[in-house]
Structure 1
Amino acid sequence: MGAYKPLDPHILKPSSTNRGYFLSKPICTWLACGFLCLAALHLLCCSPAGTRQAVFSPLRQYINNTYSFVSSVPEQGKSCNYSEGRWVWAPGHARRYNGTECNVKKSHDCIRNGRTDTRYLDWRWQPAGCPLPAFDANAFLSAVRGKHVAFIGDSMARNQAQSLACLLTAAFPYRLVYRDPGRNKYNFWRLAFPTHDVTVSYYWNPFLVRATGKAEDDSIRYNYVHLDEPGDRWGADADTIDVAVLSASHWLLNGGVYYNGSEVIGAHNAGELNHTGVGYAWPLRMAYRTAVQRLSSGRPRTVVLATFSPSHFEGSTAFNATACTKKEPYKEGERDLGWIDKEMRDIVYDEAKAAKARSGDGSAVSIEVLDVTTLAAMRPDGHPSVYMIRDPFANGAQEKMMSDCLHFCLPGPVDTFNEILLQLLRKRR
């Protein structure tokens, strides 16, 4: 076919001498539009649900694919934007499991550690314009039947992975396939759910790409990060992964020395090493890009990029018993996102969009964004704070008390991440 040529409007202009019309063409056009509107209204109001779904689903899909990237999920025939909304009071909504019974990291098991204020469990995320269904373990396992779901990334990826493990094991039988021994037991583990032939894994890899130094041994001062290579462990297993949830950001802010092959490209927060400063944004882009490229070959799969989950340290210190003691979520408009929060979120969207463009429309790899930045930023009340340890005030308040104002208690607000993840996966089906 030749190049597209616009139609000449003069060819379509009706002749003023044509007497063959009972009604003028403009009137006919308006009548036709009115008839179509009435037909659509009849379908919406009077036809069975199955008919409505069959007629309008392709149109919704076209609109979603054309005008929105990944920030919405379908909800009863309409688009549901889960990334913006508010927390509403819903007593008991988040009391879904016992963190001790599902072996969460002890520093996140707030109730076990003596936190008596449990109002943080009584809130539900209300997205803009539609409800977000409570997590349904059977629906999740059915959506990923026969698949390997892998969380790859930093401690927020682990926080979400443990949340999912608890939500699923509270409802279905499981077996522990593997867990790293000793102090690293939370850094790599795998669970199997035989009723649905589902495997859930977590890979500790705070830069997504291969990193040595502090990421492996906290006594080492710097991270040495190879931006051109995926993480060793998950990279070796990548061809077995059907759903990958990637989450990395906070360690990029901390910085490291960055490599391409054996060549040092630059560094961030390592001024005394006399390397070129590269900041945190560009390395974050490259880390996501390398990870997504590794997951864009081989089997069909869904790759989910999670956005930045902000911390709530008051006074910028973790050695303070009052670092995060707020008892309720922020209200809409009460506190704006910081510019770093926005930039980190935007980078994830940019890389997801670029990955989708590279793979093309016919790709077997689906790219999604799990946008949790706003809903997480509004939950300063959901962190362990000083309840990282058991009975922190047993000997009275100390001058210096370590507080965790980044991760969330389990159960807690991070369970909402998995409510949204479920809707993304159901959308892909």
Structure 2
Amino acid sequence: MGAYDEPPLRHHHGGVQPIRDIFTSLIYVALCLALLYLLCLTPRGSPENAVSAMLRHVTIASSGEGRGGGGGGGCDYSEGRWVAAAGHARRYNGTACDVKGSEDCARNGRPDTGYLDWRWRPASCELPAFDAAAFLAAARGRHVAFVGDSMARNQAESLVCLLAAAAFPYRLVYRDREPGTRKFWRWAFPTHGVTVSVYWAPFLVMAAGRPENFSVQHNLVYLDTLAERWSADADTMDVAVISTGHWFWNPTVYYHHNGGEVLGVHNLPELNHTEIGFFSPYREAIRMSLERLLGSAAAGRRGRTVVVTTFSPAHFEKEWDDPATCARTRPYEDGEKEVGGIEGELRSIAIEEAAAAARSRVEVLDVTRLATMRPDGHPGVYMHRDPFARGVPERLQSDCLHFCLPGQVDTFNEILLQLLIKKKQQ
């Protein structure tokens, strides 16, 4: 018997087929009525055409797409492969939508553009290209907040550019007072009442030392207190996407804020404290964040969607200041690269905490595998403007962590859209 075969109905003498015919007819009638409703009530000139919206939702419902980033009976976006797709990621001009200069690879003179000609094909379904009208419709009247480290900011700026490229007007309504920083930014899309914010909180919990001053050689992290800025605004968030991980690798002292008790350290043997690594602190930070986002009365009242983005690995193949440390121009082939042990453990922790938090109230944006396979998508030396204008330097800082914009991080938002559509349908 096939996976979708049904056993014969034993107590209906008319047989299975007439019942199926009746059921099919009822579906068509319902779809026609819904389409008529949309055609009558959708305002003229609306950016989201009623017919296209209807067809999109019928397609999603029939194909099983949009049912989560890590499986659970629907499309599993976490497993798949990158396939050639000319022009797929050439969807906006990073300069026009004011992305961070170090991620504007085209402006900075990156000569190869083949990294823009790939799309992610999940193993069990198709991932639709980003639809700006669909995203704004799913997020209408809502505050979409990206909370965490610079990968959260990378994804937030990608989303703003994808929406702006579809001719939806927007404005930057808040930015840091400090020149050159992008720790707290907010954009507004007035046609749909949508706001998009980014909150810098590299540990999610309160942290000092290096996160505030790069000249400090280690981090001071308080595991019992969430970072103040985002936690104070948490009740305003309708869609909260948390993303963290990379800062936990650095030398760190972990404290309890109340009383200042040292819990342990990571990679600081000279301080003569217990080495506790970073897996346990990482788990605790995610757990506390989910408790904050799910525990308030506002979470239920606003129908909040909470999303945990899994770890996106870096691709430093040589020293960080070697000009060739991430100079690849193609994705890895199948079997050429596997998810590393540390990266895999961080991914597992995020998935476990999301599953334990509140019985499927948390979505997982599982990007670890698809990001692992894209060593070609980083700025590399093209985090700088025209880095080889005066020849090839012996040493030059490279960015093998963030993604060029436009680029692979746009795929994160393609999956995020499907998660939001799924929540809208529930």
TM range (shorter): 0.7 to 0.9
The one of 161, 169, 173 equivalent to 1:166 is 161
1:424 aligns with 2:415: no
TM-superposed CA distance for 1:40, in Å, is 7.8
TM-superposed CA distance for 1:325, in Å, is 1.3
Greater Cα shift, 333-342 or 33-42: 33-42
Report the counterpart of residue 88 of structure 1 in structure 2. Answer: 83
What CA distance in whole angstroms lies between the structure 1 residues aligned with 2:220 and 2:354? 25
SS at match of 2:381: coil
1:32 aligns with 2:34: no
What CA distance in whole angstroms lies between the structure 1 residues aligned with 2:279 and 2:28? 47
1:111 aligns with 2:110: no
The one of 175, 198, 204 equivalent to 2:200 is 204
Deviations 1:127-186 (A, max 9, x none): 112211111111111111111110000111111111011111222111211100334531
TM-superposed CA distance for 1:31, in Å, is 5.8
- Kindly tell me: are residues 218 and 129 of structure 1, through their superposed partners in 2, closer, same or farther at Cα, counting changes over 3 Å? same
The one of 248, 255, 267 equivalent to 1:252 is 248
Structure 2 letter corresponding to 1:294 = R
SS at match of 1:172: coil
8 Å contact kept, 2:69–2:415: no
Structure 2 letter corresponding to 1:400 = R
Report the counterpart of residue 314 of structure 2 in structure 1. Answer: 311
After superposition, where does 1:157-306 map in structure 2 within 5 Å? 157-170=152-165, 171-260=167-256, 261=258, 262-296=260-294, 297-299=296-298, 300-306=303-309
After superposition, where does 1:404-423 map in structure 2 within 5 Å? 404-423=399-418
Tell me the number of residue pairs that the alignment of Structure 1 and Structure 2 aligns: 380
What CA distance in whole angstroms lies between the structure 1 residues aligned with 2:197 and 2:261? 32
Greater Cα shift, 250-259 or 31-40: 31-40
> Of the two, which has the highest radius of gyration?
1
What CA distance in whole angstroms lies between the structure 1 residues aligned with 2:23 and 2:311? 39
Structure 1 stretches lacking a partner, 5+ long: 1-28
SS at match of 1:181: coil
What CA distance in whole angstroms lies between the structure 1 residues aligned with 2:116 and 2:168? 22
TM-superposed CA distance for 1:71, in Å, is 1.4
TM-superposed CA distance for 1:408, in Å, is 0.4
SS at match of 1:411: coil
Deviations 1:181-229 (A, max 9, x none): 3345311100111100111100111000111111111111221111111
8 Å contact kept, 2:381–2:399: yes
What CA distance in whole angstroms lies between the structure 2 residues aligned with 1:136 and 1:69? 17
8 Å contact kept, 1:83–1:372: yes
Structure 2 letter corresponding to 1:80 = C
TM-superposed CA distance for 1:82, in Å, is 0.7
Deviations 1:235-276 (A, max 9, x none): 111111111100010101114111223211111112211111
SS at match of 1:294: helix
1:399 aligns with 2:394: yes
TM-superposed CA distance for 1:293, in Å, is 1.1
- Kindly tell me: are residues 127 and 204 of structure 1, through their superposed partners in 2, closer, same or farther at Cα, counting changes over 3 Å? same
TM-superposed CA distance for 1:329, in Å, is 0.9
Deviations 1:59-116 (A, max 9, x none): x99xx9xxx975149xxxx821111111111111111111011111111000000001
TM-superposed CA distance for 1:46, in Å, is 7.4
Report the counterpart of residue 350 of structure 2 in structure 1. Answer: 348
More strand by share: 1
What CA distance in whole angstroms lies between the structure 2 residues aligned with 1:422 and 1:201? 16
Runs of 4+ residues over 4 Å off in structure 1: 33-53
- Kindly tell me: are residues 341 and 45 of structure 1, through their superposed partners in 2, closer, same or farther at Cα, counting changes over 3 Å? farther
Structure 2 stretches lacking a partner, 5+ long: 1-6, 33-56
8 Å contact kept, 1:309–1:372: yes
What CA distance in whole angstroms lies between the structure 2 residues aligned with 1:422 and 1:264? 41
Report the counterpart of residue 339 of structure 1 in structure 2. Answer: 341
8 Å contact kept, 1:154–1:207: yes
The one of 327, 330, 333 equivalent to 1:325 is 327
SS at match of 2:306: strand
What CA distance in whole angstroms lies between the structure 1 residues aligned with 2:27 and 2:304? 33
What CA distance in whole angstroms lies between the structure 2 residues aligned with 1:36 and 1:384? 62
After superposition, where does 1:373-384 map in structure 2 within 5 Å? 373-384=368-379
TM-score for the superposition, normalised by structure 1: 0.83
TM-score for the superposition, normalised by structure 2: 0.83
Report the counterpart of residue 38 of structure 2 in structure 1. Answer: none
Greater Cα shift, 213-222 or 414-423: 213-222
Identity of aligned residues (%): 57
What CA distance in whole angstroms lies between the structure 2 residues aligned with 1:258 and 1:426? 39
SS at match of 1:177: strand
Deviations 1:5-48 (A, max 9, x none): xxxxxxxxxxxxxxxxxxxxxxxx96629988656865797774
8 Å contact kept, 2:68–2:76: no
Structure 1 letter corresponding to 2:112 = D
- Kindly tell me: are residues 40 and 353 of structure 1, through their superposed partners in 2, closer, same or farther at Cα, counting changes over 3 Å? farther
What CA distance in whole angstroms lies between the structure 1 residues aligned with 2:146 and 2:201? 10
- Kindly tell me: are residues 211 and 96 of structure 1, through their superposed partners in 2, closer, same or farther at Cα, counting changes over 3 Å? same
- Kindly tell me: are residues 149 and 273 of structure 1, through their superposed partners in 2, closer, same or farther at Cα, counting changes over 3 Å? same
